[in-house]
Amino acid sequence: MKHLIRLRPSPAMVVACLALGLALGGTSYAAIKLPKNSVGAKQLKKNAVTGPKIKSNAVTGAKVKESSLAKVPAAVAADTAAVAATATTATTATTATTATNANAVSGNTVRRFTSVVVTGGAATTVLNLNGLLITLTCPATNVTLRANNNSGAAAQFRFDLHGQGAGEFNGGFQNFGAASNANLDQGNNLGSGSAHYVRLNGTGVTVNYGWRNDDLGGAGVACRVFGFAISG
């Protein structure tokens, strides 16, 4: 028994042995090489992977959740430009539609007209605007262009023309009543002219017109009139 007690290590020896064991164990652990792909999400601490640890251009579009990203300034500017372009197009379209459908320009009514009557055909109304009525017939291939007052009140009418045969012609009516009739072609089958119609209420119509009776390239002989009128 005394022999066993004599063999028991001293406290200093125990401490020395523990220190040696820890040193040897730590060295062995440090020397272990981790297998490939052995570190996973469970081994990583929260926020352990920081920006400097990520390789440049390593994160591609397939790895990014697009809905979590804010628009870059260039994209925002592009959206604004697209909206502005659409708004401009819409405004332009509306303006064009309004201009196409407008009945008045600066308070004046504008009409463009063109009429064709075959030889011996029924009379056609060329213009009926603010009391001025212009009709066209074509008896025996001759242009017959007439102006009438259908306002029901007295008016004044004047016209000037340049015809193929008669040359310059100035004509007018001081009083252009409902039964009055003006011969706008003066017997010419080709020409152009202008007419001015004024009512007693101060409104009126100005007309610029041309006429002819040829077949215009094989379309058949007919009488034609074309022009425009402004009323206000």
The total number of residues shown for the chain amounts to 232
Task: Give the predicted TM-score (pTM) of the model.
Answer: 0.56
How much of the chain, in percent, has pLDDT values that exceed 70?
A: 55
pLDDT digits (tens, 9 = 90+) for 173-195: 778 988 788 999 999 999 999 99
Report all structural domains of the chain as residue ranges with CATH numbers, in order of start. Answer: 106-231 (2.60.40)
Which H or E run contains 91?
helix 73-101
Position 75 pLDDT exceeds 80: no
Neighbours of 230 (CB within 10 A): 17
Q: How far apart are the first and last CA of the chain?
A: 142
| Model pLDDT for residues 127-167, shown as the tens digit of each residue | 999 999 999 999 998 999 999 999 999 999 999 999 887 67
Give mean pLDDT, residues 1-9: 55
Q: Write the DSSP symbol of residue 55.
A: P
Report helix, strand or coil for 5: helix
Instruction: Encode pLDDT of 84-93 as tens digits.
Output: 556 566 566 5
